[in-house]
């Protein structure tokens, strides 16, 4: 949520910055118009309530003096009715202002490349050597099906398209990857959390999924409950409506959870394989910190996510997303994209974002500064990493000409000593 006071004070700045994210300046004018009506009614209501209090005192005095107070009583009945109507209008306007503000994305940082599409993202660095395969590489789903470790057909039968079964060493590899990620994250100082997988609407609002992106999630019928699209939701909302002790900052959380996504806007994209599923495992990282430290924390978060790919020996590059391609809540996002030999391209495996105080305002997460004043924390999040995509990248990058897959050295202990996956 943006600071409404800032929108009032600097409307042109807000219009200019949000226009780079596809927001119509008229939406800002509409919000400010509703807000002006609301504030005007607040003044009117408070004036009338003060008048009612004054006249009520006069009525009491008249009654004590045994004088006629009927005219004033009649007048105050009408004033009370008018106040009730104004207060009802205020409730409506308050909801309208809140809804309009809730649909506005975060203000992009000045260093974010401007673009109304994903084109224009800026590569900031790359790492690793792409595998020099002397044979035609197979896609990970072909390898998985040939080796009998991925079964998409059974997943479609039992659940529908974009679901699958991991079998045997496929399941072991998935487990090895997420345990490796969790161990590395905790070594780096993240506190491991096992959060709920179902959250309420207040939590979805707090992290910015609601009200704008309801079509992207799975909700429980007739309940104010949603299957989480990412562990970011329960991790950020851990501190919702709370004041974090200043001495506890920064707070770093990590969690392995399933993620459930309807992928409503991705019809026809990545329909095969592990890239875009309705259910997948993801290790998430979330940070809470003081505002003055959040940009350093973003770089540290990104570097740590990179270290996971480096230890797996997977080539990747880091890009800064454009103003319109980054998430609704982000002020800046660095995407890590890992190399996929069969597709001959990089594919996203982690997004590391600084949401500044945007989520903290929505979730009302604060700390008390050195002067004892309440301030909003800055919240950051990043995949550390998307597990299924990591498995897919390992399968493609470590495939052999005979269709087997070499297990990366760092995963061998997690695989019980297995060094190669074969038929």
**In this predicted structure, what is the pLDDT of residue 265?**
60
The 10s digit of each residue's pLDDT in 134-160 is 999 999 999 999 999 999 999 999 999
Q: What are phi and psi of 187, to 5 degrees?
A: -60, -35
Q: Which residues are annotated as a binding site for ATP?
A: 261-263, 348-351
pLDDT grade, residue 118 (50/70/90)? confident
Q: Is residue 301 within 8 Å of 330, Cβ to Cβ?
A: no
Going from N- to C-terminal start, the domains of the chain cover 4-103, 122-421
Assign domain 4-103 one CATH number from 3.90.1150.10, 1.10.287.40, 3.40.50.12780, 1.10.3210.10.
1.10.287.40
CATH superfamily assigned to domain 122-421: Bira Bifunctional Protein; Domain 2 (3.30.930.10)
Report pTM: 0.93
Instruction: Give the pLDDT band of residue 117 (cuts 50, 70, 90).
Output: confident
Q: Are strands 191-192 and 251-260 parallel, antiparallel or unpaired?
A: parallel
Tell me the CA distances in angstroms from 407 to 166, 177, 337, one per residue in order: 16, 11, 21
Instruction: Give per-residue pLDDT as tens, 339-368.
Output: 999 999 999 999 999 999 999 999 999 999
Binding-site residue positions = 230-232, 261-263, 284, 348-351, 381, 383
Q: Tokens 């070594």 map to which residue? A: 187
The binding site for L-serine consists of 230-232, 261, 284, 381, 383
Mean per-residue pLDDT, 244-270: 88
The pLDDT-based confidence of 173 (bands split at 50, 70, 90) is: very high
- The residue whose two tokens read 């990366």 is 408
Digit-coded pLDDT (tens) for 199-208: 999 999 999 9
For 377-408, the pLDDT digits (tens) are 999 999 999 999 999 999 999 999 999 999 99
Mean pLDDT (the chain, rounded) = 96
Report pLDDT for 239.
98
Residue 218 contacts by C-beta under 8 Å, 6 or more apart in sequence?
226, 227, 260, 261, 262
């Amino acid at each position: 949520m943006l600071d409404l006071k800032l929108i009032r004070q600097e409307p042109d700045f807000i219009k200019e910055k949000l226009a780079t994210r596809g927001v119509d300046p008229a939406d800002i004018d509409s919000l400010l118009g509703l807000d002006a009506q609301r504030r005007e009614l607040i003044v009117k209501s408070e004036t009338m309530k003060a008048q009612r209090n004054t006249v009520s005192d006069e009525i009491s005095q008249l009654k004590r003096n045994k004088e006629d107070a009927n005219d004033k009583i009649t007048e105050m009945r009408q004033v009370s009715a008018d106040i009730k109507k104004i207060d009802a209008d205020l409730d409506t306007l308050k909801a309208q202002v809140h809804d309009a503000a809730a649909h506005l994305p975060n203000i992009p940082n000045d260093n974010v490349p401007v673009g109304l599409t994903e084109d224009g993202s800026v590569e900031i660095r790359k790492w690793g050597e792409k595998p020099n395969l002397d044979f035609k590489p197979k896609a990970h789903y072909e390898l998985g099906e040939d080796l009998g470790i991925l079964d998409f057909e059974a997943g479609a039968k039992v659940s529908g398209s974009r679901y699958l079964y991991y079998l045997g060493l496929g399941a072991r590899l998935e487990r090895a990857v997420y345990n490796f990620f969790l161990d590395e994250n905790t070594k780096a100082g993240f506190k491991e959390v096992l959060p709920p997988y179902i959250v309420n609407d207040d939590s979805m609002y707090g992290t910015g999924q609601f009200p704008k992106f309801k079509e992207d999630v799975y909700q429980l019928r007739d309940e104010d409950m949603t299957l989480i699209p990412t562990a970011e939701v329960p991790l950020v909302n851990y501190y919702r409506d709370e004041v974090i002790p200043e001495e506890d900052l920064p707070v770093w959380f990590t969690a392995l959870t399933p993620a459930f996504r309807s992928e409503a806007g991705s019809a026809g994209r990545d329909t095969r394989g592990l890239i875009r599923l309705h259910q997948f495992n993801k290790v998430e990282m979330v940070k809470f910190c003081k505002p003055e430290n959040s940009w350093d924390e973003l770089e540290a978060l990104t570097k740590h996510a990179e270290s996971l790919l480096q230890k797996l020996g997977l080539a990747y590059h880091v890009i800064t997303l454009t103003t319109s391609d980054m998430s609704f809540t982000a002020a800046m996002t660095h995407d890590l994209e890992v190399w996929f030999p069969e597709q001959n391209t990089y594919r996203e495996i982690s997004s590391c974002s600084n949401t500044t105080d945007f989520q903290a305002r929505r979730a009302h997460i604060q700390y008390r500064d050195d002067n004892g004043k309440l301030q909003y924390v800055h919240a950051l999040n990043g995949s550390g990493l998307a597990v299924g995509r990591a498995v897919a990248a390992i399968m493609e990058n470590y495939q052999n000409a005979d269709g087997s897959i070499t297990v990366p050295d760092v995963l061998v202990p997690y695989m019980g000593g297995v060094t190669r996956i074969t038929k």
